[in-house]
């Protein structure tokens, strides 16, 4: 899609922002929230940026084995 073939970029951006604000403000089922495409993924990305990426036990063991093999201390957090 090439929006600038129809309208200037600023008008398109404002229209999209207005649409998303209206969409997200719609009533939701009890205990739920109306989200736009990508909202869940951005929320998940922010959480993983802050807390790290969860690994299953098999991957944790594999990384620990590699760390031992190369005699490096495994990282638990990047600060």
What is the pLDDT, as a whole number, of residue 77? 55
What is the pLDDT, as a whole number, of residue 11? 96
Q: Looking at the structure, do residues 32 and 42 belong to the same domain, yes or no? A: no
| Structural domain count of the chain | 2
Residue 66 covered by a domain: yes
Q: What is the mean pLDDT of each run of 10 residues along the chain (79 residues)?
A: 92 97 97 96 96 91 92 70
What is the pLDDT, as a whole number, of residue 76? 65
What is the pLDDT, as a whole number, of residue 21? 97
The model scores a pTM over 0.85: no
Q: What is the DSSP string of 18-60?
A: HHHHHHHTS---TT-----TTHHHHHHHHHHHHH-----HHHH
Which residues span the domain enclosing 11?
A: 7-36
């Amino acid at each position: 899609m090439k929006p600038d073939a129809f309208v200037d970029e600023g008008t398109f951006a404002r229209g999209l922002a207005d649409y998303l604000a209206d969409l997200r403000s719609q009533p939701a089922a009890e205990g739920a929230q109306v989200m736009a495409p990508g909202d869940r993924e951005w929320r998940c990305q922010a959480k993983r940026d802050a807390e790290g990426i969860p690994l299953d036990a098999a991957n944790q063991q594999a990384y620990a084995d590699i760390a031992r093999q190369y005699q490096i201390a495994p990282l638990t957090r990047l600060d």
